[in-house]
Amino acid sequence: MNASYKALLFNGNCITCHKTDNLNKSAPRIQEIQNNYKNAFPNKKDFIDYMSTWVLNPNEETSLMSTDIKKYGLMPQLGYDKTTLEEISEYIYDTNFDN
């Protein structure tokens, strides 16, 4: 899949809650998520595998964002398929959200 399709998936599904600014936050900023996951999984494949698996079935015990779960609650199960989540996870890994 090309980058613009992955951006469309991300912007159509994730940005509503995982914003890039601090306004009206209902979940951690995407930069915080990206930083936590990249620190834990610097290898792109490992990052994509872990993130997409976790979002497929959110679980507090396997979360890398336990402080944020206490603040915002556990992310709900969204019903996306694994392939879509892998595409979105790759976009998150590759994107500089600070620009």
Write the pLDDT tens digit of every residue in 7-56.
999 999 998 899 888 877 899 999 999 999 999 999 999 999 999 999 99
Amino acid present at 20: T
Q: How many angstroms separate the CA atoms of 19 and 29, rounded?
A: 5
What is the band of 99 on the pLDDT scale with cuts at 50, 70, 90?
Answer: low
Q: How many angstroms separate the CA atoms of 98 and 36, rounded?
A: 15
2 pLDDT exceeds 70?
Answer: yes
Q: What is the pLDDT of residues 45-91, one digit of tens each?
A: 999 999 999 999 999 999 999 999 999 999 999 999 999 999 999 99
In the numeric block, which tokens belong to residue 33?
């998520």
